[in-house]
Structure 1
Amino acid sequence: MIRTGNQYREGLRDGREVWIDGERVKDVTTHPALKPIVDVKARMYDMAHEEQHQDALTYVENNERHSVFQQPPTTQEDWHRKWASVDLLMKDIGGVATRLGDETVGEMWSLQDGRDVLAQIDPRFADNIDRHIRRVVEKDIFHVSANTDPKGDRSLPIDQRDPDMMIRVVRETDAGIIIRGAKFETASAYADQAYLKPTVGAWTDEKESIHAVGCIVKMGAPGVKHICRAPFATKGTAADIPLASRFDEVEALCVFDDVLIPWEDVFFYRHTAAAQQVRATLHRYSAFPYVLRVLYVADMMIGAAMWNAKQTGLEKLQSVQEKLADLVCYREGIRAHLTAAIALAERSPAGLLMPNQSILYAGRVLACSQLPVMMHAARELIGGQICVTPDSVQFEGGAGNWLQKFYTLNKEWGAEDRRKLLAFARDLLNSDYAGHRLAFVQFAQAPHFNHLAAVYKSFDFSGPLDFVRNSAGLSERVLGGKKH
């Protein structure tokens, strides 16, 4: 059944070991670095119980109500409802949060698509996948992704590095496997569980490896330690960091110090073929909500730039309109790819409906690769005041009269609205938080070369090949087992 925000918060009070600024956190739900983003996730749960939102955010199955965000998609309507649900949530919270669970649960659906491969290794593993997907639906679990290992000196073979630099199984027991190592994770400190899997492995002819493991890890399990980066939410007041103060999704080095993974939580183990198959299909669903988040970042850039033009009276200048049009083309390009990915969706091996893979991955390349360019276009539109405007306390202090004078634009736009817009734009485009978010977008679903590799592998080259063969009068060739 769908959880409430308070039930989610209570689930986080499980004795988990979280460290911030050199101190152990007593309660992640109240710590100033984590409370704002915990409240955002709690709001996601609470909205599903509210009469005005419930029909949009939930569905009924077997007389029980479940979250649309966790629903395995089987129809185009399922995808449209997921999009509408994200839209409703982002507008309610007034910003963009990426790690909320709906963008990572799709990795479980990808696992289900490969269950036959895993079943050949051990039928228990395939059954575990089915059960966990159902459990996420029924328990409304906040599920995140454990992906990137520290790796160490990558000029050395894995067997010559500190073995803990890559997650590994150190031994088997009757109860399950024992793992050691670490992962960099977003939201691990305030999530229920993580799907842990290997970083793309440099395996050649090895059929088995202690690093080829995929499993569910409870974030409060004994031996799991969350060592968080320095937070942004505590670096200023909400008036000066309106986004970072609410939406800082704190990452952590999640250390696994001899953590027991029960056999029922293991999806694959030892076999490199299984691990490689999982990596190859990992993002076939999760890329959609991930790219959708960037659409809302684009909306914030357009809105901030357009409000600035309206405040300063420059919206009628052709040069300003052209730069705004560049931002709009970027935004609409993302929307077009997402829309087309649903319209041309494909049936998956497990019977789910996956977004058109070539179009979705091409949209991800557009959204991620062009974000730095679009951020700079928005900076140019808003101008240098985002990096020179004093903080809010100055507007209230002894120098406030001068700031009121020089930040008042006209009778319609006073100093306070001007300051608020510039503070928002700075946090969006020019702050430490903005730089962090940009780096996050570039690497959160693998780096750019992996994005391009996904496009290459998912695109059907037969159309262009046949078109040119016919046009150029080339003889037929057999490529990839198919005659062209």
Structure 2
Amino acid sequence: MIRTGDEYRESIRDGRQVWVDGEKVDDVTRHPMFKPIVDVRARIHDLAHEEATRERMTYRDEETGELNAIANRLPRTREDWQDKRTAVELVQRAAGGVATRVGDETIGEMWSLYDGQDVLNEVDPRFSENIRRHLAKAITADPFHVSANTDPKGDRSKAPKDQDPDMLLHVVRETDNGIVVRGAKYETAAAYANQAFTKPTIANWGNDTMSDYAVGFVLDMGAPGLKFVCRNGFAGRAPASDYPLSNRVDEVESLVIFDDVEIPWEDVLFYQHTRAASFIRATLHRYSAFPFVQRTLHLADLMIGSALWNVKQTGLERQPAVQEKLAQLACYRETVNAHLTAAIAMAEPSPGGLLMPNQSLLYTGRVVALSQLPTMMHTARELCGGQICITPDSATFADPEVAPWLEKYYTVNENWVAEDRRRLLAFARDLLNSDYAGHRLTFQLFAQSPPFAQLGAVYRAFDFDGPLDLVKAAADLSDKVDGSR
């Protein structure tokens, strides 16, 4: 059944051990650094119940008649992907910013496992059964599902056996009930999620001695032995009137420590199977890249809106130089949009019988979206102007002695009074120029793998045979020329 926001909040009051800012947190739903993003996730649940938004957030299962979240539905048609895209857009607008780790972008990694059931069956048929059961649970129980990938890693010039083995999550022993794991993972939203697909991060799985590290499972975030050590959040550092995004949609990352955590056999998705680990690493973003790139599209709209309002308030929108920069932002936005649209239009069957976005178009779209993002952010800064870094805070605007002067110098005309201009400059600053903005830009290197890996995905997905055949015919090369790779 679709949960309510309050039911979600109650589900994460399970005694989990969370630390942030030098203190142990009693209740993440009430702590000032977690509460804003917990409220965003709760709002997603509530959107599925409200009459005005229910149809865009849910679908009715044909067999059970129950309402389920569109985000968790297995994608089988292009319409399914259009529905998911519509739901994500609604969520982003309701959040009032860009909220990345809220579930819809991480459940896709489980769909990649669904596609790999034949590989999982090679080692143990139970694992294939486990993935089907967990996917069914994700659809019907409506959990907040996230993803754990990156380990601390330690000294990367050394093998795990040549240093502290806990630098990479690994199995330390088996029990009658399951496996016991030790190590740590970095994970966004872990401290306030229900469960996570926990998986290995090593890229080269050619060595069978790595099998204790070749493990993947669904993790209950309330499991005994888990500890969440979080980075300091941006929420609460300064008033929301000055930093609206920092206080609204900051998503807190955690170092999740596994202190001999037992994983029941029914939650193990693969174990001691380096080929399965290699398969998962190669196909991990087959689906999840789509909603992630869609977030970049939403960010582009926020940048365009912030920049355009800033030039309109001062009457500069008709200047050719300004229009040129706005056009650059528009080209970036529409390029990302075109890749997403085409990836659905040219979607292709997956090995497991699902429908996945066209892989070449999706991965090239991701590279374009993320490689150009720093330049586009700076273009938006240029259009907003230097005042986003020098404007006083809201408390100063409210000071009786200073307020008349700020009212005088920040009022542009009868349509743009000082308070509206201050609000716009504050929003643009938080979007483009604040600590939060810098964090979000760096976050791109963590959330969907580094640039070299993204280009590697493009290389594997692109069909090189077409250009090879084209040049072979045009150059009249002999049949002895072999284009195989």
Task: Place the TM-score, normalised by the shorter chain, in its bin.
Answer: over 0.9
Distance 1:23 1:443 in 2: 26
Distance 1:207 1:366 in 2: 38
Whether the 8 Å contact between 1:208 and 1:271 is mirrored in structure 2 is: no
Whether the 8 Å contact between 1:207 and 1:271 is mirrored in structure 2 is: no
* Range with bigger deviation, 175-184 or 203-212: 203-212
Distance 1:322 1:230 in 2: 39
Aligned residue for 1:222, secondary structure, equals coil
Distance 1:93 1:257 in 2: 35
Distance 1:273 1:90 in 2: 37
Quick one: which amino acid aligns to residue 480 of structure 1? S
Quick one: which amino acid aligns to residue 27 of structure 2? D
- Residue matched to 2:43: 43
- Residue matched to 1:108: 110
The alpha carbon displacement at 1:241 in A equals 0.5
The alpha carbon displacement at 1:95 in A equals 1.6
Whether the 8 Å contact between 1:369 and 1:442 is mirrored in structure 2 is: no
- Residue matched to 1:309: 311
Distance 1:19 1:207 in 2: 35
Whether the 8 Å contact between 1:179 and 1:258 is mirrored in structure 2 is: yes
The number of residue pairs the alignment matches comes to 481
* Range with bigger deviation, 213-222 or 84-93: 84-93
Whether the 8 Å contact between 2:95 and 2:249 is mirrored in structure 1 is: no
Quick one: which amino acid aligns to residue 268 of structure 1? F
Whether the 8 Å contact between 1:176 and 1:263 is mirrored in structure 2 is: yes
The alpha carbon displacement at 1:160 in A equals 1.0
The alpha carbon displacement at 1:23 in A equals 0.9
Find out whether 1:292 has 2:294 as its counterpart: yes
Calculate the TM-score normalised by the size of structure 2: 0.98
Find out whether 1:420 has 2:423 as its counterpart: yes
Distance 1:204 1:284 in 2: 22
- Residue matched to 1:358: 360
The alpha carbon displacement at 1:186 in A equals 0.2
Calculate the TM-score normalised by the size of structure 1: 0.98
Select which of 400, 408, 411 maps to 1:408: 411
- Residue matched to 1:161: 163
> Equivalent pairs: percent with the same residue?
62
- Residue matched to 1:85: 87
Select which of 461, 466, 473 maps to 1:470: 473
The alpha carbon displacement at 1:352 in A equals 0.4
The alpha carbon displacement at 1:13 in A equals 0.5
Whether the 8 Å contact between 2:234 and 2:246 is mirrored in structure 1 is: yes
Distance 2:78 2:308 in 1: 34
Select which of 172, 177, 184 maps to 1:170: 172
Whether the 8 Å contact between 1:207 and 1:272 is mirrored in structure 2 is: no
- Residue matched to 2:20: 20
Distance 2:158 2:209 in 1: 20
Find out whether 1:55 has 2:55 as its counterpart: yes
The alpha carbon displacement at 1:206 in A equals 2.3
Find out whether 1:5 has 2:9 as its counterpart: no
Whether the 8 Å contact between 2:204 and 2:278 is mirrored in structure 1 is: no
Root mean square deviation, CA, Å: 1.0
Distance 2:94 2:273 in 1: 45
- Residue matched to 1:70: 72
Quick one: which amino acid aligns to residue 445 of structure 1? Q
Whether the 8 Å contact between 1:358 and 1:459 is mirrored in structure 2 is: yes
The alpha carbon displacement at 1:401 in A equals 1.6
Distance 1:182 1:166 in 2: 7
Aligned residue for 1:185, secondary structure, equals strand
Quick one: which amino acid aligns to residue 189 of structure 2? A
Quick one: which amino acid aligns to residue 169 of structure 2? I
Quick one: which amino acid aligns to residue 259 of structure 1? V
Aligned residue for 1:293, secondary structure, equals helix
CA deviation map 1:346-393 (0-9, x unaligned): 001111000000000000001111000000000011111111111110
The alpha carbon displacement at 1:202 in A equals 3.3
Distance 1:318 1:411 in 2: 26
Distance 2:94 2:165 in 1: 45
CA deviation map 1:257-306 (0-9, x unaligned): 00000000001111111100111001000000000001000000000000
Whether the 8 Å contact between 1:197 and 1:215 is mirrored in structure 2 is: yes
Q: How does 1:261-300 map to 2 (within 5 A)?
A: 261-300=263-302
Distance 2:263 2:229 in 1: 20
CA deviation map 1:305-342 (0-9, x unaligned): 00001101100000000000000000000000000000
Whether the 8 Å contact between 2:104 and 2:291 is mirrored in structure 1 is: yes
Distance 1:208 1:91 in 2: 44
The alpha carbon displacement at 1:443 in A equals 2.5
Quick one: which amino acid aligns to residue 206 of structure 1? D
Find out whether 1:433 has 2:440 as its counterpart: no
The alpha carbon displacement at 1:201 in A equals 3.4
CA deviation map 1:24-65 (0-9, x unaligned): 111110100000000000000001001111111111112111
Aligned residue for 2:212, secondary structure, equals strand
The alpha carbon displacement at 1:208 in A equals 5.0
Q: How does 1:120-135 map to 2 (within 5 A)?
A: 120-135=122-137
Distance 2:236 2:258 in 1: 27
Find out whether 1:199 has 2:201 as its counterpart: yes
- Residue matched to 2:140: 138
Whether the 8 Å contact between 1:147 and 1:199 is mirrored in structure 2 is: yes
Aligned residue for 1:116, secondary structure, equals helix
Distance 2:207 2:3 in 1: 46
Select which of 456, 463, 484 maps to 1:480: 484
Whether the 8 Å contact between 2:16 and 2:227 is mirrored in structure 1 is: yes
The alpha carbon displacement at 1:207 in A equals 6.2
* Range with bigger deviation, 472-481 or 177-186: 472-481
Whether the 8 Å contact between 1:207 and 1:273 is mirrored in structure 2 is: no
Aligned residue for 2:214, secondary structure, equals strand
- Residue matched to 1:260: 262
The alpha carbon displacement at 1:6 in A equals 0.5
Runs of 4+ aligned structure 1 residues displaced above 6 Å come to none
Whether the 8 Å contact between 1:288 and 1:355 is mirrored in structure 2 is: yes
* Range with bigger deviation, 198-207 or 264-273: 198-207
* Range with bigger deviation, 205-214 or 403-412: 205-214
Quick one: which amino acid aligns to residue 422 of structure 2? R
Find out whether 1:384 has 2:372 as its counterpart: no
The alpha carbon displacement at 1:205 in A equals 3.5
- Residue matched to 1:246: 248
- Residue matched to 1:334: 336
Aligned residue for 2:152, secondary structure, equals coil
Quick one: which amino acid aligns to residue 306 of structure 1? L
Unpaired segments ≥5 residues, structure 1? none
CA deviation map 1:426-466 (0-9, x unaligned): 00000000000001123211000000000000011010000
Distance 1:475 1:6 in 2: 69
Distance 2:209 2:76 in 1: 34
